[in-house]
Structure 1
Amino acid sequence: MIRIRLLQTVALLLIFSTQLYAQRRPNILIIVSDDHAYQTIGAYGSKLMKTPNIDRLAREGVRFDNAYVTNSICGPSRAVILTGKYSHKNGFKDNESSRFDGSQNTFIKELTKAGYQTAWIGKWHLETIPRGFTFWQVLPGQGMYYNPDFIMMDSSKKRIEGYAANIIEDLAEDWLDKRDTTQPFCLVIGHKSMHRTWIPDTCDMGMFDKVTFPLPANFYDDYAGRSAAKVQDMTIAQTMRMGYDLKMFDSEKEENNESGINRMTPDQRKKFDACYHPIHDDFKKQHLTGKALVEWKYQRYMRDYLSTAASLDRNIGRTLAYLDKHHLDDNTIVIYLSDQGFYMGEHGWFDKRWMYEPSFRTPMMMRYPGVVKPGTVNRNMVMNLDIAPTALSAAGLAVPKDIQGSSILPLVTNTKAKGRNAMYYHYYENGEHQVSPHFGISTGRYKLIRFYKRVVAWELYDLQKDPDEMHNLYGMKEYGKTVQALKQQLNKLIDQYDDNDARSVLHDETVIR
């Protein structure tokens, strides 16, 4: 009898210690927005709008001032976050032909195996269903802002009435309510905001309509010396559509046929019409042409984009409030990032794709109570490639050898830790917006880019002297040694990351010469 009681006591202690260990392991909450420009966030010095909840994350954690992506486009960026591997290694290179291979390993699968409850809720955009999660509920494709459909775990579709950012937060909180509280969790909240076509929540419509935003200094860029920039098709002047993008339709029939609008409920549509129809009537009366029309389009774009961003920030605030209310804030890592940067009129553009700074650079911040000192600003070069190994390291798990990123935890806990001395980038898509495929290297001071396929060219920028990347220095005699050193460094990164696509481009160039 004594032996049985002893065994029972030991068993209970083992169960208790296992639960205690599980509770000590940090929860991980990653919020991924879409196309959110760091230039619009207060924590990064923006005066365009207020972002109090995103700013709170920076105030209570660390703000990364040099956070970048490996491939500035939606699906590929998410694949990089999941796998910790570059696009050529995870197989999802572009949004045109790629489908994510869910059989490959991800940091989520490693966490699930280690006892974490794992979930992805919201925008997924990887063309195949999520695998390795204990729960998921995702938008098909880009998803819709109003009354979006969701793909359920049984492959059925469910339409939910409301606004996407609010619904995604509701679903995330519902999952958190129902989870096993004895086990740690990793939740990825994927927001649709700020993806084109920027339709605000009804409560935010018109909130910036009395604000006039200053034109970027290079809004009327002539792209001199930059052959790839000359052939792109992503300008506010020529590419941005009056109806599809700016809700200025030529007819009621055209408006009713727009998929983002015709799914609205009568009440939602009434509020939409009350906001946009007077704007349309006033626009028609002005008969704008030339630069006046282009600048009107810019103002309309900025107002819609920033109004849509308001709901994103508000729902991030809801996420943080949930953690506070349920006493999860002190043991939950919160990471916020966008899948890439975005153009807010710089060079006359919207969209992303380029290795130029507004597209290449992304907002990123992390709150980790007890580990990260509040109000920290980190200037190391970090990438979306680093999210996977960071999560695994925080959970106390080994990082698989094929992961190409590095944990950022040493960079925020050890002031002597050294991060990257250069970053590698590769963009593949050769269709929409006519942005030429390209790869390159950035050292923080210098950036060297090799364009291929659509345009064959090299570009060099001195970011210290030319932060807006207006002057291509490639071919200038005084930068010859700099180019030579950068090409050597670029080749080392291509070998380090085993990028055969880039290697073949440079090999062909050498052979032709």
Structure 2
Amino acid sequence: MLARILFLTWLGLTLTGLAPLGVALADTASRPNVIVFIADDISWNDFGCYGNTAARTPNIDALAESGIRFDRAFLTASSCSPSRSSIITGRYPHNNGAAAELHKPISKHLPWLPGVLRESGYYTAQSGKHHMTTTAAKNEQPVYFDLVDGGRQPGNSGGHANWVSVTSDRPKDKPFFCWFASYDAHRDWDADKQWDESQYGSMHRPSDVIVPPFLIDDDATRQDLASYYNEVTRFDHYVGAVVQTLKRQEVLDDTLIFVLADNGRPFPRAKTRLHDSGMKTALIAHWPSGIQSTGVSDSQVSVIDLAPTILTAAGATVPQTMQGVSLLPVFADRSAKVRDYAFSEHNWHDYEAHGRGVRHGDFLLIQNFRTQLPWQGPADSVRSPSHHSLQAARDAKRLNAAQQDVFLTPRPEIELYNFRQDPHQLVNLAGQPKTESTQKHLQEILRRWMDETGDSVPEKISPDTFDRETGKHIPASDVDTTGVLTPGSDRKADHVLAPGPR
């Protein structure tokens, strides 16, 4: 098996872009099934296997125990649809066209992972939250999935209600790819109202939750976090239900499973942020017949690496459009190095924003191109009890430095953090003599990446469509979108193939 993995890795690198799209490069019988479990709005450290002692995730923890737990896995956007679109195309958000921003479509000429797999002989299914669209006209829509299922049933609106049936009812004569995407844990919380103690166990107690230093430790915030933890546990339950189904079908060993989330938890200083609380993701890989080196991996990876990994393992051609790299070398040796840099974007998500981040070694550098605006989080977070507690403490002048950052304006243009020494990224090292060379290097790498991938900072980008203090919709008549451009659109970034530094 190890020899096959190494061979397929070489084959994928050698033939990328040389064979017609969708041509199979391996015998169907040797190709793994693939399931991507993608949670909605769950931070990396809210799974038990990543050290959270309060949130219960026994099924995901078990996959990590017998697979690979990536400790340096990063998203390209801490925003729902841009993140998912980036994963499905293997491209950075600004290289997907308008899809760099929330609720906007991927440019129609770009291939999607499930479409390539389908053309190479896979059965493809999507169940749960979709949230990805294309600019193709209705009568020209490509078929990416053989099955598209909303994943909801009476009493379960979490998106995972049909995962087991989709797994059970699939065709048995071909390998399968399933994109299982939950709505858990997106606000507003519905798991509390739909809780089934016989399936999920008892609800989480507010007294047990872990309150980060940038939130207020009060009853309202603790209950908010407890309800969020309930959604995390419900997601875990359905991951486990699918795994048990695969075991009964005797196909678990030949199924490559990834577990991750699209962005950080929907709380202040998390979702939409470039900091780890928003942009770092849990990433579990499980494939008994294909992963030779199990355990914890410190190899730095980006979620744009998932599509090339899956396609190479499947023996399918990796399109030239994909900017990621295969992780199969890490499956053979979990200490293998596949990239030096991981890049992330903060674009419009309810509020005007333009920021870029690069991670290298133990450092995160952030450059903010809209310093006059706060990074208070998306509108659903602004409407949350946790944010209301912060607002009350702000008005009473009782915020600590970490909490003040939620409202900070103007923000620094450059932020630099050692995230090993400072896991919450609270101490900005930018401008300090001891980190001068690191800052200079990462600023140059970020500039080079933006240039090579066609990124840009348009003078006018999408404006606020929600009130920053209340989270309420701003009437459309009060929002001026004249002359708005999305990042990279002026440079036709959706046609750029260059991946930038890796």
Distance 1:214 1:483, change over 3 A: closer
Q: CA offset at residue 218 of structure 1?
A: 4.2
What SS is found at the alignment partner of 1:137?
A: strand
Letter in 1 for 2:143: G
Match of 1:452 in 2: 369
Q: Paired residues, what number? A: 389
Q: Secondary structure at the match of 1:318?
A: helix
Matching of residue 65 in structure 1 with residue 58 in structure 2 = no
Partner of 1:357: 276
2:355 aligned residue = 438
Q: Distance in 1 between matches of 2:443 and 2:370?
A: 19
Matched, 1:161 2:157: no
Are residues 309 and 375 of structure 1, via their aligned partners in 2, closer, same or farther at CA, if it must alter by over 3 Å? same
- Per-residue CA shift, 1:4-28, capped at 9, x if unaligned? xxxxxxxxxxxxxx9x932321111
DSSP 3-state at the match of 2:106: coil
Q: Does 2:187 align with 1:196?
A: yes
In the TM superposition, 1:385-400 aligns within 5 A as 385-400=304-319
Pairing partner for 1:472 from 428, 432, 436: 428
Deviations 1:213-252 (A, max 9, x none): 35334436xxxxxxxxxxxxxxxxxxxxxxxxxxxxxxxx
Which amino acid in structure 1 is aligned with residue 286 of structure 2?
Answer: R
- 2:204 corresponds to 1:208: yes
Q: Is the 8 A contact 1:71 1:77 kept in 2?
A: yes
Distance 1:213 1:189, change over 3 A: closer
Whether contact under 8 Å (1:122, 1:192) holds in the other structure is yes
Number of the residue aligned with 1:372: 291
Measured in 1, the distance between the counterparts of 2:349 and 2:32 equals: 41
Q: CA deviation at 1:90?
A: 1.2
Distance between the aligned counterparts of 1:478 and 1:177, measured in 2? Answer: 57
Contact 1:439–1:502 (CA under 8 A) maintained in structure 2: no
Q: For 1:473, give the aligned amino acid.
A: L
1:172 to 137, 147, 163: 163
Contact conserved, 1:494 with 1:503, CA < 8 A, in 2? no
How much does 1:137 deviate? 2.5
Residue 219 (structure 2) aligns with:
296
Aligned to 1:135: 146
Q: Does 1:317 align with 2:317?
A: no
Q: CA RMSD in A?
A: 2.9
Q: Residues of 1 paired with 2:334 and 2:327: CA distance? A: 12
Unaligned runs of 5+ in 1: 1-17, 149-159, 221-293, 506-513
Larger mean Cα displacement after TM superposition, 412-421 or 118-127: 412-421
Match of 2:51 in 1: 45
Structure 2 matches for 1:67-466, cutoff 5 A?
Answer: 67-96=73-102, 98-127=104-133, 131-139=142-150, 148=152, 160-165=153-158, 168-200=159-191, 201-204=194-197, 207-209=203-205, 211-219=207-215, 295-342=218-265, 349=268, 351-373=270-292, 375-414=294-333, 417-429=336-348, 431-432=350-351, 436-453=353-370, 455=372, 457-466=413-422
Per-residue deviation, 1:427: 1.3
Which amino acid in 1 is paired with 2:203?
A: M
Q: Is the 8 A contact 2:187 2:266 kept in 1?
A: no
Structure 2 counterpart of 1:388, one-letter code: A
Identity of aligned residues (%): 26
Secondary structure at the counterpart of residue 482 of structure 1: helix
In the alignment, the residues of structure 2 paired with residue 113 and residue 429 of structure 1 have an alpha-carbon distance, to the nearest angstrom, of: 34
Contact 2:260 2:282 in 1 (8 A): yes
Distance 1:214 1:123, change over 3 A: closer
Larger radius of gyration: 1
Given the superposition, is the C-alpha separation of residues 207 and 396 from structure 1 closer, same or farther in structure 2, using an over 3 Å criterion? same
SS of match in other structure, 1:340: coil
Structure 1's 215 and 337: CA in aligned 2 closer, same or farther, altered over 3 A?
closer
Q: Secondary structure at the match of 1:77?
A: helix
Partner AA of 1:163 in structure 2: N
Deviations 1:65-105 (A, max 9, x none): 11110111000011011100011111244554612345521
How far does residue 425 in structure 1 lie from its aligned partner after superposition?
Answer: 1.3
Return closer, same or farther for 1:97/1:322 CA change in 2, 3 Å cut-off: closer
Compute the displacement of 1:113 (Å). Answer: 1.0
CA distance in 1 between counterparts of 2:55 and 2:126 reads: 29
Go from structure 1 to structure 2 and tell me whether the alpha carbon gap of 1:70 and 1:93 turns closer, same or farther (over 3 Å shift): same
Q: Is the 8 A contact 2:273 2:346 kept in 1?
A: yes
Whole-Å Cα distance in 2 between the matches of residues 210 and 58 of structure 1?
A: 27
* Alignment partner, residue 4 of structure 2: none
Cα distance per residue 1:101-152 (max 9 Å; x no partner): 455211211111111111111101125588433423344xxx9xxxx5xxxx
Query: In the TM superposition, what is the alpha-carbon distance from 1:485 to its structure 2 partner?
Result: 1.6
Answer whether contact 2:97 2:107 (CA < 8 A) is retained.
yes
Contact 2:296 2:334 in 1 (8 A): no
* In structure 2, distance between residues paired with 1:300 and 1:33: 21
Kindly indicate whether the alpha-carbon contact (under 8 Å) linking 2:214 and 2:269 is maintained by their aligned counterparts in 1.
no
For the 8 Å contact 1:169–1:318, the answer to whether it is kept is: no
Q: CA deviation at 1:337?
A: 0.8
Q: Go from structure 1 to structure 2 and tell me whether the alpha carbon gap of 1:97 and 1:307 turns closer, same or farther (over 3 Å shift).
A: closer
Q: Judging changes above 3 Å, is the alpha-carbon distance between structure 1 residues 95 and 194 closer, same or farther for their aligned structure 2 residues?
A: farther
Structure 1 pair 126–42 and aligned structure 2 pair: CA distance change class (3 A): same
C-alpha separation in 2, matches of 1:446 and 1:374: 26
Which stretch shows the higher mean deviation, 118-127 or 75-84?
Answer: 118-127
Q: Distance in 1 between matches of 2:115 and 2:204?
A: 43
Q: Distance in 1 between matches of 2:206 and 2:422?
A: 33
SS of residue matched to 1:450: strand
Amino acid at match of 2:437: K
- TM-score normalised per structure 2: 0.71
Larger proportion of helix: 1
Match of 2:466 in 1: none
Tell whether the 8 Å contact from 1:343 to 1:352 is kept in structure 2 after alignment: yes
How far apart are 1:390 and its partner, in Å?
A: 0.8
Any idea what the Cα deviations from partners look like across 1:290-312, whole Å, max 9, x if unmatched?
xxxx7111111111111122211
Range moving further from structure 2, 77-86 or 417-426: 417-426
Residues 342 and 169 (structure 1 numbering): CA distance in 2 closer, same or farther, change over 3 Å?
Answer: closer
What letter matches 2:156 in structure 1?
Answer: Y
Whether 1:485 aligns to 2:441 is yes
- The superposition leaves residues 181-223 of structure 1 with CA deviations (integer Å, 9 ceiling, x where unpaired) of 1111111111110111122132259712363435334436xxx
How far apart, in 2, do the equivalents of 1:503 and 1:161 lie? 47
Please give the alpha-carbon distance, in whole angstroms, between the structure 2 residues aligned to 1:63 and 1:503: 41
For 2:113 and 2:133, locate their aligned partners in 1 and report how far apart those are by CA, in whole Å: 19
Instruction: State the one-letter code of the partner of 1:133.
Output: Y
Aligned equivalents of 1:361, 1:69: Cα separation in 2: 6
